[in-house]
Structure 1
Amino acid sequence: MTTSADPRPASRASRRPATRRIADAPVLRVTVVYLIVAAAAGALAGVIWHLASSLPSYTIGTDGSASISERGLTSVFSADAVYSLIGVLLGAGLGLLAWRWYSRRGAWVVALAGAGALLSALACWWVGTLLGPDSFPTRVSSAKAGDTVQIDLALHTWTPVMVWALAALLPVLVISLIRWDAPSRSD
């Protein structure tokens, strides 16, 4: 008995290569991979934050007092500005990655983009403070007259951490607004 070949063209699914896209993987596995990528990127950003921050120094006087110039006072918050700038760039990248991996999963893309950015921001903060100078009160108390003591690498407010999350949510918002009525693609 002979069978004839099926005259219908191969379906799109059967023409798809055997490799699976990461967006088609199980949700838990993709989420773990995304959060690991976010934490690793945040740790690398912490090194960059440490290297890019210009921290002012206090000068120890003969009477044991510590003084800082007016310019030094204004640069106290430069570490926050550098951290925020890194957060805007990395947060937007994490938002785009979250959209790429989770856009078919609905509202999860918003939660995961924000969570990944916050995890990345905290990893950056932790690594940066580990690498940067710390124990400022101890260093000042042990300094001699004429010594300069650099301030700690630290954030002075929580606002820069929130910048990371907002930067991650911005591409998700923009892309979802542009594509809200676009037909779903199955590629």
Structure 2
Amino acid sequence: MSEIPFAAEPRWFVRWRRTLADARWSIPAFLVGCALAGLVMGAIWFLGAHRPGYTVLEDLGATMDERGLASLFAADAFFTLLVGILGLAAGIVSWLLFRNTGWWVCLLAVLGSTIGAVVVWQFGLVLGGSGFSERLAGAGPGDVVPVDLALQAYAAILVAPFLAITPVMLFSAFWPEEGAPPTDIVATEGVAAD
């Protein structure tokens, strides 16, 4: 009896299956890493965001000057910067870890960066606390009561997935394929010499 020879599985299929087997642990680790980075960025947002205050007047009214009103959005700008950095980092790390999984790398980059941005937002709010109305009610004339940390423009959360997908698209276009021949210029034969 002779055995029927089976064709070996294509090399790309073996590599893809091995990548998915490794992904059982690397995908949760990546998502947890994005959430932990979000915690760090949330603490930085809380510590670094400028919060203007209302000045309590003699008639117990409260006012804020124009500069203070304009700086209400400084916390949003700082948040946008932080989640942009987090998104870029998530995109680069997802490409390095999951580039052999096909289109899943895009999904993981967007998912991880969105998780990180939401954690930055919520953890910053938890650290910032609330109770502005109670602090304002208990303040006396001349006191300055800072506002609570808040995100005024919720669209700033979308900066993270947008900046996460950007390096994935660039790397997929320009990253050399594994096993591809080098793209050096090869001298052609038959060139006439002088």
- In 2, Cα distance between the equivalents of 1:92 and 1:23? 23
Aligned runs of 1:84-123 on 2, under 5 Å?
Answer: 84-123=80-119
What are the superposed Cα offsets for residues 9-60 of structure 1, whole Å, 9 maximum, x if unpaired? xxxxxxxxxxxxx957532321100011000000000111111111111101
Per the alignment, in what secondary structure is the counterpart of residue 55 of structure 2? strand
Alignment match, 1:17: none
Pairwise CA RMSD: 1.8
Stretches of structure 2 that go unaligned for 5 or more consecutive residues are 1-17, 181-194
Give yes or no for the alignment of 1:183 onto 2:186.
no
Relative to structure 1, the CA distance from residue 106 to residue 129 in structure 2 (aligned partners, 3 Å threshold; closer, same or farther) is same
With the length of structure 1 as denominator, give the TM-score of the two structures. Answer: 0.82
Runs of 4+ residues deviating >6 angstroms: none
Give yes or no for the alignment of 1:124 onto 2:120.
yes
1:23/1:100 contact within 8 Å kept? no
- In 1, Cα distance between the equivalents of 2:138 and 2:148? 15
Alignment match, 2:69: 73
1:132/1:153 contact within 8 Å kept? yes
Stretches of structure 1 that go unaligned for 5 or more consecutive residues are 1-21
- In 2, Cα distance between the equivalents of 1:23 and 1:141? 59
- How many Å apart are 1:107 and its aligned residue? 0.7
Tell me the amino acid that sits aligned with residue 142 of structure 1.
G
Give yes or no for the alignment of 1:37 onto 2:27.
no
- Identity across aligned pairs (percent)? 33
2:83/2:120 contact within 8 Å kept? no
- In 2, Cα distance between the equivalents of 1:133 and 1:35? 26
With the length of structure 2 as denominator, give the TM-score of the two structures. Answer: 0.79
Aligned residues: 163
- How many Å apart are 1:184 and its aligned residue? 2.9
Tell me the amino acid that sits aligned with residue 116 of structure 2.
S
Alignment match, 1:160: 156
Tell me the amino acid that sits aligned with residue 87 of structure 1.
V
